[in-house]
Structure 1
């Protein structure tokens, strides 16, 4: 298969990086502000295990529910808003035993409907199956909140909910495949290479990281959540979700390698997250999978 590797430089703005456990800035949205749960199990949303291999649908995931609620019925942009997530079984009983995966019991991903905004934060476990985090939404519009969890003995899964933030919604940004897969973010030049770019095939992702000015390879990446980096992938409609972990967790650069499977043909947005000098940087790419 042809290997996708492009060296043309494309300057991109730095997206919001992962926050600290407990509270952080984040963005959520779509039509409801509390109550209902969109249960997205790993089979339908292509949830990933730590090696990056797709996990099969597990009937146990249907036994797990999540209730999402915002601290206000009319959330506004740029205002502190608390998000509460309650993890329960199908009978409404709290599930309070969750595995710690890459240093956290819950990874919370928040994206705007047009995928132009991304945040990866970690709610605080309040006990009895309840997690909370405080964040801000940058603009009006719809946001999807995805809780990535591993209830003990049940395997990795994710649950999600759309919320709508009040106000005048800005024009959506196009989700177009990138003409090049090299970008500059926070002083780093990052080139994404993908082998076997096709659906339903296990493939490798490689992020090569250089200093944008000197072009010297970056070899001092620091562990981020216990690994060289993390990758989140969503389909254009935000319905299919992949959270991919590196194949060589202790790598320090310039290469950070991952393995995954795109579940279907279509347009995907990929966010790679890495840490250097105590600062997390996030680099986005959009690809079209045949």
Structure 2
């Protein structure tokens, strides 16, 4: 059986250890108090193996609703570029962007330009602080997660309080999606099971399409975006009506869970908020 991987991430030092489980899961934890409250960081972080990630913006500060180029340069302990990366679910890097209140979420894939340099052009929807999580795997090394905070100028959107959902069911694109956890408790392995039905007829949906090489992906953040988990399904080849993920919440608290799936060529993202005892 595979083991769940954990990466402990600080603003200046990232302690990493990652393995594989029945799912593949990567998590990150920031112990820097300024980071925890979405304060601006240096744009550079290093782990115990000496891997550095240098984040840069084409304009800093950036303005809301204006497309900006972001670059992420991956360097080794000697400051030389890390050139080779393994594909992880069809991509060399997954980049997750979230707003401070976690109401905004975006999963994008920077383009690898060679010599350790990844680039992406994107726009942020409103003024305020955002956190980026770069998830990648240098060839022959463990999975690594690096985070960075950026601030967008412009009018901020009203903050949305993060409240646990009373019912873990939502309708998206004509699909009724439900989430069930077999035992929601911190520090314990548990199953997260998504069930898919036609929203009108309640008939089971069995024609989900592979998204990034699997039936779905799940990203989980705690309410401060301090703890990050990226979870892959137990059965990657499932097409519904269920998609099961195995994970573990590191500590008690409120978490937001984004499930990502695909049907009829459309990517479906469904968020739920849970309280973990």
TM, length-normalised to structure 1: 0.82
Deviation for aligned residue 1:61: 4.9
Deviation for aligned residue 1:38: 5.9
**Pairing of 1:2-13 with structure 2 (within 5 A):** none
Match of 1:189 in 2: 176
Match of 2:23 in 1: 52
Deviation for aligned residue 1:64: 1.1
Tell me the distance in 2 between the aligned counterparts of 1:253 and 1:260: 19
**Pairing of 1:210-289 with structure 2 (within 5 A):** 210-289=197-276
How many residue pairs get matched? 250
Note if contact 2:217-2:233 (Cα within 8 Å) is conserved in structure 1.
yes
Three-state SS of the structure 2 residue aligned to 1:63 is coil
Note if contact 2:27-2:228 (Cα within 8 Å) is conserved in structure 1.
no
Decide whether aligned partners of structure 1 residues 163 and 39 sit closer, same or farther in structure 2, where only a CA change above 3 A counts.
farther
Tell me the distance in 2 between the aligned counterparts of 1:90 and 1:140: 35
Tell me the distance in 1 between the aligned counterparts of 2:20 and 2:128: 32
Tell me the distance in 2 between the aligned counterparts of 1:166 and 1:48: 39
Tell me the distance in 2 between the aligned counterparts of 1:274 and 1:56: 20
Tell me the distance in 1 between the aligned counterparts of 2:218 and 2:65: 27
Decide whether aligned partners of structure 1 residues 142 and 252 sit closer, same or farther in structure 2, where only a CA change above 3 A counts.
same
Tell me the distance in 2 between the aligned counterparts of 1:177 and 1:265: 13
Tell me the distance in 2 between the aligned counterparts of 1:132 and 1:67: 12
- Decide which of 82, 88, 98 is 2:85's aligned counterpart: 98
Three-state SS of the structure 1 residue aligned to 2:160 is coil
Decide whether aligned partners of structure 1 residues 39 and 232 sit closer, same or farther in structure 2, where only a CA change above 3 A counts.
farther
Match of 1:63 in 2: 50
Name the structure where strand makes up a greater proportion of residues: 2
- Decide which of 165, 177, 180 is 1:178's aligned counterpart: 165
Three-state SS of the structure 1 residue aligned to 2:256 is strand
Deviations 1:71-107 (A, max 9, x none): 1013111111111000111221111111101000100
Note if contact 1:139-1:169 (Cα within 8 Å) is conserved in structure 2.
yes
The runs of 4+ residues in structure 1 deviating greater than 2 Å are 37-43, 47-57, 59-62
TM, length-normalised to structure 2: 0.85
Deviation for aligned residue 1:117: 0.4
Tell me the distance in 1 between the aligned counterparts of 2:27 and 2:121: 33
Q: CA RMSD in A?
A: 2.0
Match of 1:5 in 2: none
Deviation for aligned residue 1:51: 3.3
Tell me the distance in 2 between the aligned counterparts of 1:281 and 1:109: 16
**Structure 2 residue runs without a partner (length 5+):** 1-10, 29-45
Deviation for aligned residue 1:49: 3.8
Deviation for aligned residue 1:169: 1.8
Match of 2:43 in 1: none
Tell me the distance in 1 between the aligned counterparts of 2:60 and 2:92: 27
**Structure 1 residue runs without a partner (length 5+):** 1-36
Higher-RCO chain (CA-CA 8 Å, sequence separation at least 6): 1
Deviation for aligned residue 1:168: 2.3
Decide whether aligned partners of structure 1 residues 172 and 40 sit closer, same or farther in structure 2, where only a CA change above 3 A counts.
farther
